Amino acid sequence: MNAQTAVRWYIGLDIGGTAIKAGLVSNHGHVALHRSKRNDVSKALSTVKCVIMDLLKDADTNRFPAVSGIGLASPGRVDSERGVVLEAINLKWRNVLLKQEVEHDFRLPTVLLNDSNAAALGELAHGSVMSDNFLCITLGTGIGAGIVLGGRMHEGARFKAGEIGHILYEPNGLKCVCGKAGCLETIASGSGIVRRYIQYSPDDETASCGKAVHEIELNDIVQLARQGSVASLRVLEEAAEALGSTVATIVQSLDLDTVVLSGGVAKMDWPFTERVEAAAHRYAPRSSQVVVRKSRLIDIAALLGVTALLESTHFVKS
């Protein structure tokens, strides 16, 4: 970003099934008034509008310059050209005209992107990815990815590029939310790791967490792994192996040189990223080696991405 560029402020929202992360984001990559509001899926659209309204009021109260636009990141399949969420299972949205709704209510330029694509664009615009050909993988409840090819986001023929969570990895594995079984997501997502740990761990070990089985979280498993728990180490190592193998295939297909990991799984206090890289190196030929690293923008990448798109679409004429 050119230091001479005038500062503009945008509202950015990263809409998730359990929370909406939002903030006021400048075209120089600063995030202010950062907040997270619990999302109730039964009234997600009105919650989105409330978050925008509150941010506009707070921006005014805190004497920020006028807001120049609104950038929205949604999970699921998103038609970014028409601004429509085609299907977001976690939000129970289907064919929601989100861009139109928000533009109508707030009279500001608005853009909508898939959340993983937004994170990839954020990494491209403000991260430290020294590449124009990379994959940005978000490992949360599910697994999504944004693909950047030749410095441009690749959304695919039907806005489905990067849906790597449902690549089949383990035939006859655990049932997936998509209806199939053994998808990558059932092994390497946060929820997948927890489900497999519960399946493999001895009863006395789950009891040692001091929690009921249904309360066990990823952090408990990481803690147990650090104490030498065989079951915990097994599910974490198998998750890294599955992801590394999948990454090796994608990297070879698209000739990528960098993979960035973000989301709760990437943040864990265990060398997950290093294990994924080692597995990717084992599965790919030497000529297709890839750097795998943790995102430095984990919680704000999508906010930076949607506002970078707004900036390039509406305010920077090339």
Nearer to Zn ion, 180 or 294 (CB): 180
Minimum CB distance to Zn ion, residue 177 (Å): 6
Q: Among the candidate windows 72-80, 179-187, 271-279, 284-292, which touches Zn ion by CB under 5 A?
A: 179-187
In whole angstroms, what is the distance from residue 69 CA to residue 108 CA?
A: 5
In whole angstroms, what is the distance from residue 51 CA to residue 132 CA?
A: 33
Minimum CB distance to Zn ion, residue 156 (Å): 17
In whole angstroms, what is the distance from residue 297 CA to residue 72 CA?
A: 17
The residue within the footprint of Zn ion, chosen from 15, 137, 176, 276 (CB under 5 A), is 176
Instruction: Give the single-character DSSP code of 62.
Output: T
Nearer to Zn ion, 124 or 183 (CB): 183
Q: What is the widest separation between alpha-carbon atoms in the chain? A: 63
Q: Among the candidate windows 92-100, 182-190, 191-199, 234-242, which touches Zn ion by CB under 5 A?
A: 182-190
CB 238 within 8 A of CB 165: no
Collect all residues with Cβ–Cβ distance below 8 Å to 38 and sequence separation of at least 6: 18, 19
Write the interaction track for Zn ion spanning residues 112-151; mark x where CB under 5 A is met and - where it is not: ----------------------------------------
- DSSP of 105-125: HH-S-EEEEEHHHHHHHHHHH
* By CB under 5 A, residue 77 contacts Zn ion: no
- DSSP of 194-221: HHHHHHHS-HHHHHHTTS-GGG--HHHH
The residue within the footprint of Zn ion, chosen from 51, 113, 124, 183 (CB under 5 A), is 183
CA quadruple 239, 144, 71, 305: dihedral, nearest 10: 70
Q: Among the candidate windows 49-57, 67-75, 159-167, 193-201, which touches Zn ion by CB under 5 A?
A: 159-167
Nearer to Zn ion, 180 or 296 (CB): 180
Q: Among the candidate windows 35-43, 67-75, 83-91, 169-177, which touches Zn ion by CB under 5 A?
A: 169-177
User: Total residues contacting Zn ion (rule CB under 5 A)?
Assistant: 5
Minimum CB distance to Zn ion, residue 144 (Å): 12
The residue within the footprint of Zn ion, chosen from 99, 126, 166, 267 (CB under 5 A), is 166
Q: How are beta strands 291-294 and 258-262 bridged, if at all?
A: parallel
Degrees, nearest 5: CA angle 277-267-275: 20
Minimum CB distance to Zn ion, residue 115 (Å): 17
* By CB under 5 A, residue 174 contacts Zn ion: no
Minimum CB distance to Zn ion, residue 142 (Å): 9
Q: Among the candidate windows 129-137, 145-153, 168-176, 249-257, which touches Zn ion by CB under 5 A?
A: 168-176
Nearer to Zn ion, 12 or 144 (CB): 144
CB 44 within 8 A of CB 57: no
In whole angstroms, what is the distance from residue 166 CA to residue 184 CA?
A: 6
Name the residues that contact Zn ion, by CB under 5 A: 166, 176, 178, 180, 183
